[in-house]
Amino acid sequence: MIIAEQKPLEEIRGLIGEAEKVLVVGCGTCVTVCFAGGEKEAGILATSLRMASKLEGRPKEVTHTTVQRQCEWEYIDPLRDQIAQVDAVLSIGCGIGVQALAERFPEAIVLPGLNTTFLGLPVEQGIWEERCAACGSCILGLTGGICPIARCAKQLLNGPCGGSQNGVCEINPDTPCAWQLIYDRLKAQGRLHLLMEIQPAKDWSTSRDGGPRKITREDLRLQAEQSE
């Protein structure tokens, strides 16, 4: 899932600036799970902004709402009337949600309340770790389901670097070496022969380095056209 964390309150207040009426919009999917931008967080943030502005002697009207997903038109279209009545919209969805709101309501000032960080999973209560770099060319079938692009600090494709010692990455003693994890997993599965296949230099054109990406499913487009 997409992992994000809330910006500092003072940074958010700076983004809002002189806006008198603000709508905080939460999202009910990824950022709810990582406790950054769900309904509860939207309510707390709206209250904090109201209290801060009141203490400053310039009270603002800050309301909040939460949609199931900010990244789809059908869920954000019902916000049109609310957005028309405020000076600024503060999205606490991921960066995609912020851009979806800004694209759907181009007349509105849409501001980010979160910093979107990575694609990851909760490894234990309150701890999320990066697991995928969305590179567009997955090699997990060759690495025992452990991603060297996201989990190796140097994104190496053919084994560890010289800085790896005792199964630990040189960047941090708390960071395991991704290639040690890969080796251990493949050994346990009896598939170490996969490591003997030299991987060529990665084609980064399928990743963000190739520019903005787009996926088109013609069958779904055809279904949509036939239903109109």
Does 114 share its domain with 147? no
**What confidence score (pLDDT) does residue 210 get?**
85
Q: How confident is the model at residue 17 (pLDDT cuts 50, 70, 90)?
A: very high
Does 6 share its domain with 95? yes
Q: Give the Cα separation of 64 and 129 in Å (integer).
A: 29
Q: Please say if the pLDDT value at position 161 is more than 80.
A: yes
On whether residue 221 sits in a domain, the answer given is no
Q: How confident is the model at residue 216 (pLDDT cuts 50, 70, 90)?
A: confident
Quote the number of domains for the chain.
2
Does 90 share its domain with 176? no
Does 10 share its domain with 114? yes
Looking at the DSSP bridge assignments, the partners of residue 127 are: 124
Q: Please say if the pLDDT value at position 218 is more than 90.
A: no
**What confidence score (pLDDT) does residue 189 get?**
97
On whether residue 99 sits in a domain, the answer given is yes
Average pLDDT along the chain: 95
Tally the residues of the chain: 228
Q: Please say if the pLDDT value at position 221 is more than 80.
A: no
Q: Give the Cα separation of 198 and 23 in Å (integer).
A: 53
On whether residue 191 sits in a domain, the answer given is yes
% of the chain surpassing 70 pLDDT: 100
**What confidence score (pLDDT) does residue 211 get?**
87
Does 7 share its domain with 82? yes
On whether residue 218 sits in a domain, the answer given is no
Arithmetic mean of pLDDT, 56-68: 97
Does 19 share its domain with 110? yes
Q: Give the Cα separation of 148 and 131 in Å (integer).
A: 9
Q: Which of 67, 145, 143, 53 is nearest to 105 (CA)?
A: 67
Does 63 share its domain with 160? no
Global confidence as pTM: 0.88
Q: For residue 133, give Cα distances in angstroms to 36, 75, 150, 214.
A: 20, 27, 5, 16
Q: Please say if the pLDDT value at position 87 is more than 80.
A: yes
The 3 state secondary structure assigned to 31-57 is HHHCCCCCHHHHHHHHHHHHHHHHHCC
Q: What is the pLDDT of residues 143-156, one digit of tens each?
A: 999 999 999 999 99
% of the chain surpassing 90 pLDDT: 89
User: What is the b/e burial string over 75-112, where b = at least 16 CB atoms within 10 angstroms of the residue's CB?
Assistant: bbeebeeebeebbbbbbbbbbbbbbbbbebbeebbbbb
Q: What is the pLDDT of residues 119-140, one digit of tens each?
A: 999 999 999 999 999 999 999 9
Q: What is the pLDDT of residues 41-52, one digit of tens each?
A: 999 999 999 999
For 111, the domain range is 2-118
Pair 67, 29: CB distance under 8 Å? no
